Amino acid sequence: MYGSIAFAGVGEAAVGTERVRTAQDLAVEAALAAMADAGIGPRDVDGVITASPAGDPHFMFSSLVTEALNIPARINTAIQDAGASPCMGVLYAARAIAAGEAHTVLVCESDSRGARFKGDKIQAMRAARPWTDDYEDPFGLTVPGKYALIAQRWMHRHGGRPEDLAAVGVAAREHARRQPHAPKRDPLTVEAILASQPIAAPLRALDCCPVADWGGAVIVTTLERARDMRQPAVRLLGGGEGHGPYHLNENDDLPPGAARQSAEAAFGIAGVKPSDIDTAQVFDAFSIAALIAMEELGFCERGQAGRLFADGHTALGGSIPTNTTGGMMTWGNAHIIVLPEAVRQVRGDAGINQVHGAKLALAHGIGGPMSLSCTLILGQ
Amino acid sequence: MTDAVPGAKPSADAAKPARPAGPPPSKPIPTPTDANRPFFAGCAEGVLRLRRCLECGRHHAPTRAACDCGSVAFEWVQVAGRGTVFSHTVVHRAPDPAFRADLPYVIAIVEFDEGGRLMSNLVNCAPDAVRVGMPVKAVFETVAEGVGVVKFEPA
């Protein structure tokens, strides 16, 4: 399967909340952009895999997208792997294509959190779901709190400092600043991050991504079909999943092992190693997530990721340019942001933040507080 | 595709809390099931019970139905409720108005001396004083008839 599955198109919905769009609208907008990029239409697609939006939760969300686009779907499902959903969706699409159950699959993720969750974002997001967890909810746990528990353990084990966490936001802003349409273009300093509002110690406001609307989509198909489409084909060379417990207290240790498991599987299949990767697009909804991603994916030793970001290794021209869009730290919790960017980097059309000569890209997602993880390796 | 659609859901609706206006906000209360009632009922009686594997003796949180050794045979056993902080955070932004009065509060993962871990609040302790490895002991709160939760305080 790997090597003979390809990305044929990528696209995003326009950024911003000035217009009224549901998660379905955002998915459709992104899907049309990805199809246009590939030079195909909805009737050329025969599979749909979506994530499950929090802003407009809807039973069988993928069927809404299939309906809106009138896609003659042979496979259709909405997966619930949170921040890993887009990368996991690609894996499921690849498996379906390899099994002959579909030939061209739309994988998309969209959410309307920016439009729907007003005021106190933490409270608004929590209020969008019922109290369901008798082992977390009674104690006032938040999503940032989960990542904070991971961060505190990481700092304890490795002597990590708040400055290590802050290095992620500073690096993200440097990538964002070069882009004319980025939401924030002024320089961001470690001091400013350390002075931002505490959310769940050791995480502060600027350790957490903004809450936004987003829509992103990729077209996954056979290499053969992709070669007949509009854009240069980008191959899926390897992929892997990692899984562990849902509840943080049930992990043998923190960080959970899912990211490392997914990376080892993906690198093994692709037959490459971390030092071969030209650019990494990793999950960075929280600063600690990006630090742990870089360590667990094998780009540095455990405990060293703060230095990796602070010393410019993740910048353009560094050893592993990372989250070249500015990531979720810049654009909000659009988990799928990793996929179009990884594809564009390999195609050589990533624009102002193109990594010169990029041939191999890694895309990565994390679901829950690192309960599950997915790593993909893309190449020419 | 880019036009705003008249009649689309106003965003304010979705941001409203699910709970009806009127009564003061209350924290969520566990709803015991047949599978976990010994745990939550024990907490109401001031007793901490964990699940112990009948094959290898490991202790587990109530969420586990299978042991590391593969066994699915468990018994509920009373444990001393003493352990150490495995990790912790100080919450400064609450998930619900019901928790606002507690801010800032500590959430910790506690590792029991017998083995097994739970997540809960660490109380009766200055938030800045919490450290990984700190010894703690269980304290209990009854939150409904026959339903309790376990929290921890410095030992």
Q: Hey, are the CB atoms on B105 and A140 less than 8 Å from each other?
A: yes
Angle, alpha carbons A65-A69-A72 (nearest 5°): 95
Nearest by CB to B107, from A117, A130, A141: name it.
Answer: A141
Nearest by CB to A247, from B14, B63, B105: name it.
Answer: B63
Q: In this predicted model, what pLDDT tens digit does every residue of A167-218 receive, in sequence order?
A: 999 999 999 999 999 999 999 999 999 999 999 999 999 999 999 999 999 9
B-chain residues near A148 (CB < 8 A)? 89, 91
**H-run or E-run covering B107:** strand B105-112
Inside any domain, residue A294: yes
* Contact criterion met (CB below 8 Å) for A236 and A267: no
Structure token digits, residue A91: 């894996």
Last residue of a domain, one of A169, A199, A231: A231
B-chain residues near A141 (CB < 8 A)? 91, 95, 107, 119
The pLDDT, as a whole number, for residue A130 is 86
Q: Hey, are the CB atoms on A156 and B132 less than 8 Å from each other?
A: yes
A27 and A92 share a domain?
A: yes
Mean pLDDT across B127-155: 97
Nearest-Cα distance to chain B for A313, in Å, is 29
**H-run or E-run covering A36:** helix A23-38
The pLDDT, as a whole number, for residue B84 is 98
A200 and A77 share a domain?
A: no
A23 vs B: CB within 8 A: no
pLDDT at A307 over 70: yes
Q: In this predicted model, what pLDDT tens digit does every residue of A332-364 receive, in sequence order?
A: 999 999 999 999 999 999 999 999 999 999 999
* Contact criterion met (CB below 8 Å) for A113 and A55: yes
The pLDDT, as a whole number, for residue A16 is 74
3-state helix, strand, coil in chain B (%, to 5): 15, 35, 50
Mean pLDDT across B32-43: 96
Inside any domain, residue B8: no
**A72: phi then psi, degrees, rounded to nearest 5:** -75, 75
CATH number for the domain including A254?
3.40.47.10
SS3 A73: coil
Structure token digits, residue A134: 């008798």
Inside any domain, residue B73: yes
pLDDT at A278 over 80: yes
The pLDDT, as a whole number, for residue A15 is 83
B115 vs A: CB within 8 A: no
- Name the more confident of A296 and B23: A296
Boundaries of domain holding A84: 5-117+212-231
Q: In this predicted model, what pLDDT tens digit does every residue of B73-114 receive, in sequence order?
A: 999 999 999 999 999 999 999 999 999 999 999 999 999 999
A118 vs B: CB within 8 A: yes
| Number of independent structural domains in chain B | 1
How big is the A-B interface in CB pairs under 8 Å? 154
Nearest by CB to B91, from A123, A200, A249: name it.
Answer: A200
Q: In this predicted model, what pLDDT tens digit does every residue of A226-261 receive, in sequence order?
A: 999 999 999 999 999 999 999 999 999 999 999 999
- Band (A157; pLDDT cuts 50, 70, 90): very high
* Contact criterion met (CB below 8 Å) for A120 and B93: yes
A149 and A273 share a domain?
A: yes
Inside any domain, residue B71: yes
pLDDT at B151 over 70: yes
* Contact criterion met (CB below 8 Å) for A194 and A204: yes
A28 and A164 share a domain?
A: no
Q: At what angle do helices A258-270 and A287-296 cross, to 10 degrees?
A: 40
**H-run or E-run covering B43:** helix B37-45
Mean pLDDT across B23-48: 93
Boundaries of domain holding B107: 31-154
A184 and A246 share a domain?
A: yes
Inside any domain, residue B6: no
pTM of the model: 0.94
A295 and A315 share a domain?
A: yes
A222 and A260 share a domain?
A: no
Q: Using CB atoms and an 8 Å cut-off, which of residues 78-107 of chain B contact chain A?
A: 86-97, 99, 102, 104-105, 107
| Number of independent structural domains in chain A | 2
- Band (B18; pLDDT cuts 50, 70, 90): low
pLDDT at B16 over 90: no
Inside any domain, residue B7: no
Last residue of a domain, one of A176, A199, A231: A231
Q: Hey, are the CB atoms on B118 and A249 less than 8 Å from each other?
A: yes
Q: Hey, are the CB atoms on B18 and A130 less than 8 Å from each other?
A: yes
Mean pLDDT for chain B overall: 89
Structure token digits, residue A307: 């230095």
